[in-house]
Amino acid sequence: MARIVVIGAGMGAMAAAARLAVAGHRVTVYERAATYGGALGRFERDGFAFDTGPGLLQLPAVHRDLFVKTGKEPLEACVDLVQVDPAARHVFADGTEVSLPNASRAGVVSALDGALGAGAGERWGDFLVRAREAWDRTRRPLLEEPLWADWQVLGEREPYPALRQRRLLRTRTAARLAEVGAWELGDPRLAALLESYALAYGLDPRAVPASAAVLPYMEHAFGAWYVRGGIRELARAVHERCVARRVEFVFGAEVVAITEKDGRATGVELRDGTVSEADFVVGGPPELLKSLTGRDDLYGGEAPGPQPTSPSRGKAVVCLALRGPREAGAAHRTVVHTPNRTEELDHTFTAGTAAPRPTVWVDRPDDPLLRPDDAHESVVLTATVPSLAHHDWAAAGAADAFADRMVAAAERAVPGLRGRVLWREVRTPLHTERETGAPGGGIPAPALAGEGGTRLRPGNTTRIPGLFAVGGWAHPGGGLPHAGMSGSLVAGLIVEGPDFRGSQ
């Protein structure tokens, strides 16, 4: 039995903790905040409750596996998991609307044909077939296996089989996601649909490789899921599973240094001066580990270390307490597309300023647990925004002015919205930075292949024996399923050793 210290109670770290405890190790989690879950926050007031992190869960198989491997009760016995149908309703710039059924190719094809015109559904369906190829080619190395020592190979190969195009007298294939949209989908609304999946992860569709096609594919193939009571319930369940497996949690305990002896990690030091010794230290983001060890050379040699070059974007979140009931049949999620994509992308990614007319995700869970009674409704609006590295969200009025624009956009999805607002809570990357420790309050995206490996994340092993990186900023990247897999990979690397080749 080894003593293992885990830094932070984020979802990736808790997944590692539960798995390591089941393997017979003594695990202690030191979390600087007063609660678990990190980005999976909740805001509550006056009988209203809101998810302040992700509003839906994708690839639930990752969390199902965690619950199967760590105890008798499956995930479904610990949370009330429901498939959201439609997966999303989209309101495009020209006013066209379409509701995409959950995980049904035929349903999606016929919905798109009906809303956008004959042929649109088939073009999207054909695109998903190609996206599946990219998924099949990268699923193992970019989700289920520790980062390859020769990770450069993943950067060299673009797994998306783009169609050959005759353009300007040359034969070309789409290298970027936006080119896939413009050249292969043949409709600006389908292009907007495609690009919105990248934007949701804080990625610029004009810059990300075509391999980002796996993002819509994941939702299409594995569905969009909601956890009754809010997605934070998933964090509650994972925390409970950890506690049941005798993981010890110490809250209000910030790790300020990682101790080393003879080049090996030997434990952590907390802000109050306490030193906790351990055989293994499972940290959070690679950048945090660098600062806690005071070493810049955590990667290299046996410890693969791609250096992501694109700074991540953050999220603005507006929690709306509404008077009046949610109308029957309202979609759980509506994506209200910006009237001007170039303008939004230029602001968010090029200038680093808040977009005048952002794309807004409107989440309206039909969940009595989130509202005081059926005469009220709780709604969450989300938009992708520049992080604190580019934009001063603390400037007077900055957050409120942007929230006004988000509400104005959301009114296209929920007519009369503004008149129903009792109060609102506005959150920006300032909150994300405070609650997760991510510098600038950015959000990590899943690792992607292609583009010279610049969209990969540093691996889970480091050059310091006994020290591991976990969570969305490490391999295989951000988002709930990917961070959950980072926990699985770290546990595998500790339990089975460096030859661990991933879950089977």
Ligand X SMILES: Cc1cc2nc3c(=O)[nH]c(=O)nc-3n(C[C@H](O)[C@H](O)[C@H](O)COP(=O)(O)OP(=O)(O)OC[C@H]3O[C@@H](n4cnc5c(N)ncnc54)[C@H](O)[C@@H]3O)c2cc1C
Write out the residues near ligand X by the rule CB under 6 A.
7-13, 30-33, 38-40, 53-54, 254-255, 284, 288, 315, 317, 432, 436-438, 443-444, 471-472, 478-480, 483
Spatial contact of 175 and 210, defined as CB atoms under 8 Å apart? yes
Cα 260 to its chain centre, rounded Å, is 32
| Residue matched to tokens 């955590």 | 298
Q: At closest approach, how far in Å is the CB of 454 from ligand X?
A: 19
For ligand X, give the closer residue by CB, 31 or 179. Answer: 31
| Residue matched to tokens 């998991």 | 81
CA gap 107, 90 in Å, rounded: 15
Cβ count within 10 A of residue 164: 11
CA gap 188, 186 in Å, rounded: 7
Residue 396: which residues within 8 A CB-CB, separation 6 or more? none
Q: At closest approach, how far in Å is the CB of 49 from ligand X?
A: 16
Q: How far apart are the first and last CA of the chain?
A: 24
For ligand X, give the closer residue by CB, 130 or 390. Answer: 390
Which parts of 79-176 fold into alpha helices (H)?
105-116, 120-139, 152-156
Q: At closest approach, how far in Å is the CB of 51 from ligand X?
A: 9
Structure tokens at 188: 């600006």
Q: 94: closest CA among 336, 307, 270? A: 336
For ligand X, give the closer residue by CB, 9 or 180. Answer: 9
Q: At closest approach, how far in Å is the CB of 231 from ligand X?
A: 8
For ligand X, give the closer residue by CB, 52 or 138. Answer: 52
Residue 293: which residues within 8 A CB-CB, separation 6 or more? 257, 258, 260, 265, 464, 467
Give the pairing type, strands 26-31 and 3-7.
Answer: parallel
Evaluate the CA torsion angle 42, 45, 49, 55 in order and state its sign.
negative
For ligand X, give the closer residue by CB, 17 or 449. Answer: 17
Q: At closest approach, how far in Å is the CB of 286 from ligand X?
A: 11
Q: At closest approach, how far in Å is the CB of 183 from ligand X?
A: 28
Q: At closest approach, how far in Å is the CB of 127 from ligand X?
A: 22
| Residue matched to tokens 């001007």 | 340
Q: At closest approach, how far in Å is the CB of 103 from ligand X?
A: 17
Residue 419: which residues within 8 A CB-CB, separation 6 or more? none
Helices (H) and strands (E) in the chain, counts: 16, 22
Q: Which helix (H) or strand (E) holds 484?
A: helix 480-496
For ligand X, give the closer residue by CB, 193 or 317. Answer: 317
Spatial contact of 375 and 358, defined as CB atoms under 8 Å apart? no
Q: At closest approach, how far in Å is the CB of 168 from ligand X?
A: 38
Structure tokens at 354: 């808040």
For ligand X, give the closer residue by CB, 173 or 503. Answer: 503
Q: At closest approach, how far in Å is the CB of 29 from ligand X?
A: 8
For ligand X, give the closer residue by CB, 174 or 490. Answer: 490
For ligand X, give the closer residue by CB, 476 or 478. Answer: 478
Please state at what angle helix 480-496 crosses helix 61-70, rounded to 10 degrees: 40
Q: At closest approach, how far in Å is the CB of 316 from ligand X?
A: 8
Spatial contact of 322 and 353, defined as CB atoms under 8 Å apart? no
Q: At closest approach, how far in Å is the CB of 293 from ligand X?
A: 12
CA gap 239, 290 in Å, rounded: 27
Distance set, CA 335 to CA 84, 97, 383, 406 (Å): 14, 10, 10, 12
Structure tokens at 96: 């066209």
